[in-house]
Structure 1
Amino acid sequence: MDTAVYRHNGLVCADHTLRVPLDHARPDGPEITLFAREVTAAGREGEDLPRLLWLQGGPGHRAERPDAPGAWLREALRDHRVVLMDQRGTGRSTPADRRTLAALPGAAATAAHLAHFRADSIVRDAELLRRHLAADGEQDRPWTVLGQSFGGFCALTYLSLAPEGLEKVMITGGLPSLTAHADDVYRAAYARVADHNERYFDRYPADQRLADAVAGHLGSEDVRLPTGERLTVRRFQTLGAAFGGVSSFDSLHYLLETAFVPGARGPELSDTFLRRVEAAVSYAQHPLYAVLHEAIYAQGGRPTAWSAHRIREEFPVFDASRGGPLRFTGEMVYPWHFEEDPALEPLREAAHLLAGRTDWPPLYDADRLAANRVPVAAAVYHDDMYVDREHSLRTAAAVRGLRPWITNAHAHDGVRVDPAVYGRLLAMVRGEI
């Protein structure tokens, strides 16, 4: 394992890289690189502090960097060395995108490769990293895990596959159903997204006219983003994914207010608007999010079969072609994304193969979770747009010793916005409250 150490803004950072198997069932097979950054408060780097592993949301997003504004990090550094691991395929770990995957011999090989990028592989990577970071004689010392959103999904997989590596677990907005099919997940999700649309337009009633005007313009004109591809109405609708976070809920309002400028032939969409839309709807920086978003729910013999696309038909409120006020969609990925987004188009055939796959291994062990002995606390956000509250509460009841904290005081990004979220969860797993 290679290590580089440097100081930054009151922090001591140690960058680690190690080689891990692509397929943990074949430890002698092909390998990929795993990157992790260990962060310690300056002046405490010589202390024997316990480690905390941050598992970020996603799938397909790199770990936060030390200069990120996440409220939890400075709090965690009071008591821990914090490990920021770039989950496989992201950041400085061996990337998985249209350029690197082009080296594989066809769509079937690409799909088979990407099947190793789910929570089970991430957890096994983490276990190898934990043992590599431990000092001599401390290989079995467990660490604490903080899982946000998809990171919470990974934490439950960790409790299922390798609980011996865990001392404590904290989960924020990330208790998935242990058994629900993707259809169940998206059926519940569309109802929540519709509710968040109502909240948004109640706050900004004048934005309904603007949103409808943008959709009308996109329906009648060939509008191109700065990257050259056409901006369609359905892609514009995906901006509603921002409704789930308190730090991003208002972002659409400030985007829409820049929408139109007077042009030579009448109102036109401004370059400012189009550039910001492009940044929001492109998957260029996190293609794995799109490719694997439904696969994170897949277990057993039933394919996901583009669940979000199929279930959307049950919710005509999101059909812009039917008339009526425009409604934005949420955290959904559709097959047409792989036709309209240049970062995804080369992965289209592989994505279709993954959507049809029927041999996904299980991600959770219900018996082991029912016998769990690791202290676990989970923040369940009552109005979470991304993770269904009722699914979370059923899972909380199925994990022995898991203590849920049900609150409507925070949105999905609560741990990043308010350090008190981390503080409360830590006190819960310590048995202080």
Structure 2
Amino acid sequence: MRTTAAVHVAVGSVLLTTWAAAPASAGTHAAPSAAELRGTAVAAARAADRGIDFGACPAEQQLPGTVRCGTVRVPLDYARPNGKQIRLTVSRSRATGKDPDNSKRKVRRQGSLVHNPGGPGASGMYFPMMGALPEWKRIAAAYDLVGYAPRGVGRSAPLSCTDPGTFFKGPSKAPVHPSEAYKRKRVARAKAYARGCAERAGDALRHYNSLNNARDLDVVRAALGENRLTFLGSSYGTYFGALYATLFPSHVRRMVFDAAVDPDPKQIWYRNNLDQSAAFEHRWTDFLAWVARHDDTYGLGGTAREVRAGYAEARARLAKNPAGGKVGPEQLQAAMLQAGYYDDVWPHHARALSAYLKGDAAPLVELAQEYPEAAAEAENARAVYLAVECNDAPWPTDWAVWDRDNTRLARRAPFETWANVWTNLPCAYWKAPRQQPLDVRAGRGELPPTLILAAERDAAAPYHGALELHRRLAGSTLVTERDAGSHGIAGGPNACVNRHLEAYLLEGRVPGRHASCAAHAQPKPQPQPRPAAA
């Protein structure tokens, strides 16, 4: 869920084919109002006048001294720009101006590169630190690296739906094929969570949505003193980045969409979540097959089927006797889901599963346990995730629709399907009014060239989403990492991808409408540590 060498964060969860439409009254508006457009212009003008007073970052952020922090004021409701204001926290490291290959040669500064890592609910405050990595040094020489916490996240008008002290409920079972009694319990929990969001946030809840995230981005641009925006959005960040390009095409300088989610209004968000669950099954099988190829290291079987059986055995054991009293099947599944996002975690996760099945639970407990000190951040991230996705679009409000669609899907994609349902189910009982998603579009000549990066087997943002975004944004270029599945590939281990990224950000060059890169090498197995000598 967090950033690795590549800049990426998981989108929540995502989709199938049939669902009952929400009632027409669920959508409050299909397009931004004139008042909201005027309000955004007013807020951006004020931000341009104020700028950002950058200073030392809060100690709890644990950012190095080279990173400076400040705040940007935005309206809670853009239709009322003179009404309640909230503050977004922003971080920045200045362009180094130094060519990493020749320290004596200076590099021309090209302005600010603003990043959003996704979620919804993820903070970009740590993005400026990426400039220290070799893959980012050329970009960091030319750009100020700017991150920020979107509305609701962290210190940016934080949103909460429940007491963080009760957020982690482990160890818990979360069966792959739940009983009717278990489903009733989870429906009740979803209703309570939706009710908690409404009670804690009040009328403000409706203003946490993707269109406001796009408007906030334009205010941040203005506060940074940029006439046009250079932006890198990962995962969910590609969606409100695409909204930004639709709303403010003349404000775009360069935009990178990394791990693009499908922006088709019919997909936002229920169907996207069904598609995601289906894609995770394929990606989970990729991991199992990799473990099987390294049976000499992990001893979990020589076929994906045998490794899958070992995972099922681990779930059964944990249901009866949680590891360390902390890790049950739900915690195991949440931990192993990361193998569906990033293949650089495969060795560590395979080792933990292998050790547990051979009698050593310690690596699995370390990997999968819920840490109380992280509960507040986790609860905040989930609250923002749900507020944005539930507000963005109509959702089925009849549990029978969810039950039907996901029961069908779980027959062929059991790994993530029901876990995904339980994450998103509060949207069925949401108290705030719903929007109708904006139709993302850019005709020929309306935008400068934009760059879309996608891994062909990405499960969190299935590849068809990148194809759809490419189709909708005229003049865009799609770079595909073939036969690869890590979620977010910008600035990661693939040198071919990074060459395209640098050529675009540093020189404005794109390789035509389509380009492809071979997958980077898969990770090497990580052997079990040998017992210490007596």
Give the alignment's TM-score, normalised by structure 1. Answer: 0.76
How many pairs align? 396
- Distance apart, 1:246 and its partner CA: 2.6
**Retained in 2: the 8 A contact 1:15–1:37?**
yes
Is the partner of 2:265 in helix, strand or coil? coil
Q: 2 CA distance for matches of 1:331 and 1:172?
A: 27
Name the structure 2 match of 1:362.
437
Tell me, yes or no, if structure 1 residue 395 matches structure 2 residue 458.
no
Match of 1:408? Answer: 482
What's 2:38 paired with? Answer: none
Matched residue SS, 2:467 = helix
| Corresponding position of 2:55 | 4
Unaligned runs of 5+ in 1: 263-268, 320-326, 339-347
Deviation readout 1:286-313 (Å, 9 max, x if unpaired) = 3354345465386554447788776431
Contact 2:67 2:129 in 1 (8 A): no
Show CA shifts across 1:365-419 (max 9, x none). 43x5676322211012211111122232123112111111222164323224236
Q: Does 1:75 align with 2:138?
A: yes
Distance 1:70 1:312 in 2: 41
Give the CA deviation at 1:93.
Answer: 2.5
State the Cα RMSD in Å.
4.0
1:280–1:362 CA distance, 2 compared to 1 (3 A) = farther
Match of 2:415 in 1: 328
SS state of the match for residue 94, structure 2?
Answer: strand
1:49 and 2:122 correspond: no
Q: Match for 1:274: what amino acid? A: V
| Residue 285 (structure 1) aligns with | 377
Is the 2:273–2:420 Cα contact (8 Å) retained in structure 1? no
Greater CA deviation, 144-153 or 73-82? 73-82
Indicate conservation of the 8 Å contact 2:283/2:458, yes or no. no
Query: How far, CA to CA, are the matches of 2:432 and 2:335 in structure 1?
Result: 29
1:423 aligns with 2:519: no
Residue 120 of structure 2: aligned partner: 59
Q: What do the CA deviations read for 1:61-88 (whole angstroms, capped 9, x no partner)?
A: 1113444576654332122112111222
Return closer, same or farther for 1:256/1:318 CA change in 2, 3 Å cut-off: farther
Distance 1:106 1:270, change over 3 A: closer
CA contact (8 A) 2:208 2:391 kept: no
Say if 2:242 is the partner of 1:156. yes
**Matching residue within 147, 171, 183 for 1:84:** 147
What amino acid maps onto 1:95 in structure 2?
Answer: P
Match for residue 147 of structure 1 among 219, 229, 233: 233
- What is the aligned counterpart of 2:446 among 353, 372, 396? 372
Matches within 5 A, 1:17-416: 17-42=71-96, 49-63=110-124, 64-67=126-129, 73-98=136-161, 107-109=197-199, 110=201, 112-134=203-225, 141-181=227-267, 182-205=269-292, 206=300, 207-221=307-321, 226=326, 231-242=327-338, 243-259=340-356, 270-279=361-370, 284-291=376-383, 293=385, 295-296=388-389, 299-303=392-396, 311-317=405-411, 328-329=415-416, 333-335=420-422, 353-354=429-430, 359-366=434-441, 368=442, 372-408=446-482, 410=484, 411-416=486-491
Name the CA distance, whole Å, in 1 between partners of 2:321 and 2:163.
35
Aligned residue identity for 2:222: R
CA deviation string 1:230-287 (max 9, x = no partner): x54345323342112232344421321342576xxxxxx7354224212499865333
CA deviation map 1:108-165 (0-9, x unaligned) = 243753433332222222211221221xxxx6x1121111111111210110222232
Distance 2:316 2:477 in 1: 48
CA distance in structure 2 between the aligned counterparts of 1:74 and 1:16, rounded to whole angstroms: 24
**Residue deviations 1:29-48, cap 9 Å, x none?**
33222111121244679975
Gap change, CA 1:308 and 1:57, over 3 Å in 2: farther
CA distance change for structure 1 residues 146 and 112 in 2, over 3 Å: closer, same or farther? same
CA contact (8 A) 2:160 2:197 kept: no
User: Match of 2:233, SS?
Assistant: strand
Amino acid at match of 2:237: G
Q: Could you say what secondary structure the match of 1:194 adopts?
A: helix
The structure with more strand, counted as a fraction of residues: 1
Question: What is the DSSP-based 3-state SS (H/G/I as helix, E as strand, rest coil) of the residue aligned with 1:204?
Answer: helix
Structure 1 residue 212 displacement after superposition: 2.1
Given that 1:34 and 1:87 are in contact with CA atoms closer than 8 Å, whether structure 2 keeps it comes out as yes
When you count helix as a share of all residues, which structure comes out higher?
2
SS at match of 2:345: coil
Contact 1:170–1:426, Cα closer than 8 Å, also in 2: no
Looking at structure 2, the residues matched to 173 and 370 of structure 1 have their Cα atoms a distance apart, in angstroms, of: 23
Distance 1:175 1:65 in 2: 21
Distance apart, 1:60 and its partner CA? 0.8
- Deviation, 1:332, is 5.6
Which digits, 9 at most, give the CA deviation of each residue in 1:315-343, with x for residues without a partner?
33478xxxxxxx532796443x69xxxxx
Higher relative contact order (CA 8 A, sep 6+): 2
Match of 1:322 in 2: none
Letter in 2 for 1:191: A
From the superposition, tell whether residues 259 and 170 of structure 1 become closer, same or farther in structure 2 (CA, over 3 Å). same
Who is 1:324 aligned against?
none
State the secondary structure of the residue aligned to 2:471: helix
CA contact (8 A) 1:371 1:399 kept: no
Q: One-letter code of the match for 2:389?
A: I
Identity of aligned residues (%): 16
Aligned partner of residue 145 in structure 2, secondary structure: strand
Q: CA offset at residue 167 of structure 1?
A: 0.5
Amino acid at match of 1:3: F
> Contact 1:144 / 1:167 at 8 angstroms: preserved in 2?
yes
